[in-house]
Amino acid sequence: MNIPANLKYTKDHEWIKIEGSTGTIGITDFAQGELGDIVYIDINPDVSEITSGQSFGTIEAVKTVSDMYAPIDGKVIEINKNLNDNPQLVNTDPYGEGWIIKIEILNSAQVNELLSPEDYQAQLGQ
């Protein structure tokens, strides 16, 4: 299982890549594997901000629908429109082309509350 060292993680299996004041968010390799074949990503196109711990959309797989939770507070700057036609990118490249949303970070101190790669791996029992 792939757990990149340059990301932070949530207990709910989201990841965030911090680049300056921008955060790119997706779901982890573990999460996409548990969900199975992803068929639809639902994010309100009018969403302007996300709040730590709150759902910002759903991800639908063949057998289930799961909420996606914001790792930190942020102002939405981009939603990955490629997922509209190719939601399976989350399965094939969860840390690359399968990213879900980009935000402007509103509270950088919240990053310190997220899991390190080692802590996330330990949570999974790896």
pLDDT digits (tens, 9 = 90+) for 22-39: 999 999 999 999 999 999
How many domains does the structure of the chain reveal? 1
Q: What is the pLDDT of residues 46-88, one digit of tens each?
A: 889 999 999 999 999 998 999 999 999 999 999 999 999 999 9
pLDDT band at 125 (very low <50, low <70, confident <90, very high): confident
Torsion of CA 89, 90, 93, 97, to 10 degrees: 60
CATH (domain of 101)? 2.40.50.100
Tell me the residue range of the domain where 30 lies. 8-109
Mean pLDDT of the chain: 95
pLDDT in the model for residue 44? 84
Give the global pTM. Answer: 0.95
pLDDT at 100 over 80: yes
- Span 107-116, average pLDDT: 95
Specify the 3-state DSSP secondary structure of 65. strand
- Span 96-122, average pLDDT: 96
Nearest to 91 by CA among 15, 6, 9, 34: 34
Q: Extract the tokens encoding 49.
A: 């901000």
Listed in sequence order, the DSSP H helices in 1-126 are 29-35, 82-85, 89-92, 117-123
pLDDT in the model for residue 45? 82
In a domain, 48, yes or no: yes
In a domain, 3, yes or no: no
Strand order in the sheet with 8-9: 8-9, 14-19, 22-27, 101-105, 74-79, 49-50
In a domain, 118, yes or no: no
pLDDT band at 14 (very low <50, low <70, confident <90, very high): very high
